[in-house]
């Protein structure tokens, strides 16, 4: 079965819709298109038996419209005010549209902090899975009204990918105002070619995805590519396609070749390692020597102090840190068994020296293999 054909049999989708689509490029909530997307999702839910999660942008953009603002503000408090105003209309629009088909919705507001703490991550997963079992459509958004720069996701593409990880979705569908991912910017190059299907991990994609986002949203194609790679860690394939295409969700379900399909190239990570991989905020970094890099990437070993050359950042035992090679590339991340100052004292030392140096031994490894994800 081809990757496109798998869209026809998938059980669970995460559907993310961007701000430009939802607000008609900033003129207010696009109720006509919302009704059309909901009609398609209702059909997939009722007739195809699919489980659907909706990640909805648009709160800040709708708030800007209601407040009469023409430019997206930069100040955090102004963004939070716009989100608070806009969230009212956004939730009302989705609830009203789905109720036409007898479907209930549930609002899920998340911050990165919610998914960075293991217990809260598990609570969020249990709640969302319970809603899906009840036949409810979860409507997920970042909690923009209280989030700070330190704990924000940064864009709803990333949030959608983490939601896909959270529930182990078959596909992430990103509806945007562009046809898909092109080999060059179609706004500047009339000969740009649509990339119809490739692996999310393909390094050639990095040069194709520009960093520019729209005026209303925070995510350009580069964020969508990063989201696809994050989603791929749970085996989720990502379709990037224009939401302005008629019956786009139904046609994707039918296996039609629309937009760009970015496929997962590796087996899904275990749930605990998905959580580790999804940490966007790391508390520090460990610089590894060549031997440690090989031990982690080729031999499936835990990380020992003897292979660590440097420590960056301040962190405590149990926090998530990155493992980087001599060129600064992240090769792994995991839960550290010692605080930063303790690791500094252990640099290059064999494990049997830990007690003599620190006066105690928590674990012989700095990071146990079971608490590590290797990229």
Q: What is the pLDDT of residue 153?
A: 58
Would the pLDDT of 170 be above 50? yes
317-341 residue pLDDT tens: 988 999 999 999 999 999 999 999 9
**CA–CA separation, 51 vs 132, rounded Å?**
6
**CA–CA separation, 307 vs 349, rounded Å?**
8
Would the pLDDT of 151 be above 50? no
Nearest alpha-carbon partner for 144 in 54, 37, 29, 62:
62
Confidence of residue 343 (pLDDT cuts 50, 70, 90): very high
Per DSSP, the three-state class of 286 is strand
348-374 residue pLDDT tens: 999 999 999 999 998 999 999 988 989
**CA–CA separation, 257 vs 80, rounded Å?**
39
Q: How do beta strands 330-335 and 372-374 pair?
A: antiparallel
Distances (CA, A) of 114 to 110, 144, 221, 275, 284: 6, 13, 26, 11, 20
**Domains of the chain: which residue ranges?**
3-274, 282-374
Which residues on adjacent β-strands are paired with residue 109?
A: 141
**CA–CA separation, 318 vs 336, rounded Å?**
5
Q: What is the pLDDT of residue 152?
A: 53
Would the pLDDT of 98 be above 70? yes
Per DSSP, the three-state class of 327 is coil
- 63: tokens are 């708030």
Q: What is the pLDDT of residue 337?
A: 93
Would the pLDDT of 287 be above 90? yes
Would the pLDDT of 133 be above 70? yes
57-89 residue pLDDT tens: 888 888 988 999 988 888 888 888 888 899 999
207-237 residue pLDDT tens: 777 554 444 344 478 889 989 998 998 889 9
161: left (phi over 0), alpha (psi -120 to 50) or beta: alpha
Would the pLDDT of 267 be above 80? no
Superfamily name with CATH number, domain 282-374: PUA domain (2.30.130.10)
Q: Following CA atoms 111, 271, 339, 337 in sequence, which dihedral angle do they give, to the nearest 10 degrees?
A: 170
Mean confidence (pLDDT) of the chain: 88
Tell me if domain 3-274 and domain 282-374 are identical in fold. Answer: no
Exposure string over 159-187, b if 16+ CB within 10 A, otherwise e: bbbbbbbbbbbbbbbbbbebbbbbeeeee
Report residue 145: phi and psi, to 5°.
-75, -20
Q: Is CATH 3.40.1160.10 the classification given to domain 3-274?
A: yes
């Amino acid at each position: 079965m081809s990757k496109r054909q798998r869209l026809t049999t998938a059980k669970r989708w995460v559907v993310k819709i961007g701000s430009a689509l939802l607000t008609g490029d900033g003129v207010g909530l696009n109720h006509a298109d919302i009704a059309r997307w909901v009609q398609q999702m209702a059909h997939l839910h009722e007739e195809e038996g699919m489980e659907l999660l909706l990640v909805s942008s648009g709160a800040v953009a709708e708030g800007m419209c209601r407040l009469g603002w023409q430019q997206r503000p930069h100040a955090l408090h102004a963004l939070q005010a716009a989100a608070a105003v806009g969230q009212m209309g956004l939730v009302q629009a989705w609830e009203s549209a789905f109720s036409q088909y007898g479907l209930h919705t549930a609002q899920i507001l998340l911050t990165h902090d919610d998914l960075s703490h293991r217990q809260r991550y598990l609570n969020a997963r249990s709640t969302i899975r319970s809603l899906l079992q009840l036949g409810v459509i979860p409507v997920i958004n970042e909690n923009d009204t209280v989030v700070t720069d330190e704990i924000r996701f940064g864009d709803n593409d990333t949030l959608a990918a983490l939601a896909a990880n959270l529930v182990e979705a078959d596909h992430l569908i990103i509806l945007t105002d562009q046809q898909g991912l092109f080999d060059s910017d179609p706004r500047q190059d009339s000969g740009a070619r649509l990339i119809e299907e490739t692996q999310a991990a393909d390094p050639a994609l990095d040069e194709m995805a520009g960093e520019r986002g729209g005026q209303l949203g925070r995510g350009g194609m580069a964020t969508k590519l990063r989201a696809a790679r994050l989603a791929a860690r749970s085996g989720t394939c990502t379709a990037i396609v224009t939401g302005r295409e008629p019956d786009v969700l139904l046609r994707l379900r039918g296996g039609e070749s629309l937009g760009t399909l970015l496929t997962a190239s590796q087996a899904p990570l275990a749930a605990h390692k998905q959580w580790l991989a999804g940490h966007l905020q790391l508390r520090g970094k460990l610089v590894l020597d060549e031997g440690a890099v090989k031990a982690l990437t080729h031999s499936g070993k835990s990380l020992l102090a003897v292979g660590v050359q440097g420590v960056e950042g301040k962190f405590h035992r149990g926090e998530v840190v990155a493992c980087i090679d001599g060129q600064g590339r992240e090769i792994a991340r995991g839960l550290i068994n010692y605080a930063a100052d303790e690791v500094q004292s252990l640099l290059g030392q064999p494990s049997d020296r830990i007690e003599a140096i620190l006066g105690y031994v928590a674990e012989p490894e700095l990071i146990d293999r079971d608490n590590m994800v290797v990229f």
